[in-house]
């Protein structure tokens, strides 16, 4: 078994909620929106017996994630896709999540993506999504697009949308609240002590 600890620590809690939600005998399906990259956290869910599907906008990220899966004898099923326009039927997944991904869009698109995630989730299913918070050290950096949205330079210019603590609440008014976590993390990055800020949600449809 792959003993790697994944960077996306809050997904361990989501996994725990998922494990408690479904009897072991059923097939458990999970969708990751923004699933690409060299160490895809869908691998963790696969190891726990989930049927995984992931989408990512960028083909390189998709390839990199599937390559990791192959190395670990896992069929992660990560394909190209746009989380604001999911090519899946209504109510087709037990679990849906998006980790450190949804905030790379403007807030109008984020709203669409969340509507899509809710649509493809089965009634009673669980959803995890996290947001960058205005506590983050990069909030305010780069060309200002208004409403705490900035175009920032990573490897290429990329949108970062930051949220006030209660700003995302309206997205979830039609769902059952499970958990909300505000995380302010200070750590050393390239020799400097930086502060990151996130707001995580777990919700039930």
- Chain positions contacting a second copy, by CB under 8 A: 1, 3, 5, 7, 9-10, 12-13, 15-16, 19, 47-48, 177-188, 193
Q: At its nearest, how many Å lie between a second copy and the CB of residue 15? A: 6
| Residues 17, 202: Cα–Cα separation, whole Å | 9
Q: At its nearest, how many Å lie between a second copy and the CB of residue 61? A: 22
Q: At its nearest, how many Å lie between a second copy and the CB of residue 86? A: 27
Which of residues 141 and 181 has its CB atom nearest to a second copy in the complex?
A: 181
Q: Which residues contact 80 (CB under 8 A, 6 or more apart)?
A: 55, 56, 57, 58, 59, 62
Which of residues 36 and 197 has its CB atom nearest to a second copy in the complex?
A: 197
| Residues 199, 205: Cα–Cα separation, whole Å | 19
Which of residues 116 and 135 has its CB atom nearest to a second copy in the complex?
A: 135
Q: At its nearest, how many Å lie between a second copy and the CB of residue 77? A: 21
Helix (H) or strand (E) holding 64: helix 59-71
| Residues 125, 133: Cα–Cα separation, whole Å | 26
Which of residues 13 and 122 has its CB atom nearest to a second copy in the complex?
A: 13
Which of residues 67 and 179 has its CB atom nearest to a second copy in the complex?
A: 179
| Residues 20, 7: Cα–Cα separation, whole Å | 22
Q: At its nearest, how many Å lie between a second copy and the CB of residue 59? A: 29
Q: Which long-range CB contacts under 8 A does 108-115 form with residues at least 24 apart?
A: 109/84, 110/161, 111/171, 112/84, 112/85, 113/33, 113/83, 113/84, 114/171, 114/172
Q: At its nearest, how many Å lie between a second copy and the CB of residue 10? A: 7
| Residues 39, 65: Cα–Cα separation, whole Å | 6
What are residue 196's phi and psi, to 5 degrees?
-105, 150
Which of residues 104 and 183 has its CB atom nearest to a second copy in the complex?
A: 183
């Amino acid at each position: 078994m792959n003993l790697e600890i994944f960077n996306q620590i809050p997904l361990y809690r989501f996994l725990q909620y998922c494990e408690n939600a479904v009897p072991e005998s059923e097939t458990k399906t999970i969708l990751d929106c923004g699933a690409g990259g060299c160490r895809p956290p869908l691998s963790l869910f696969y190891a726990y017996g989930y049927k995984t599907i992931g989408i990512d906008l960028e083909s390189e990220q998709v390839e990199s994630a599937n390559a990791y899966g192959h190395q670990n004898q896992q069929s992660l099923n990560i394909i190209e896709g746009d989380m604001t326009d999911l090519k899946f039927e209504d109510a087709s997944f037990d679990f849906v999540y998006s980790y450190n991904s949804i905030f790379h869009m403007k807030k109008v698109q984020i709203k669409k993506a969340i509507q899509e995630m809710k649509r493809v989730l089965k009634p009673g299913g669980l959803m995890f999504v996290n947001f960058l918070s205005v506590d983050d050290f990069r909030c305010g950096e780069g060309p200002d697009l208004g409403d705490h949205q900035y175009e920032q330079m990573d490897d290429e210019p990329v949108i970062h949308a930051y949220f006030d603590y209660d700003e995302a609440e309206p997205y979830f008014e039609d769902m059952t609240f499970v958990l909300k976590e505000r995380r302010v993390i200070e750590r050393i990055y390239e020799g400097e002590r930086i502060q990151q800020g996130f707001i995580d949600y777990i919700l039930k449809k």
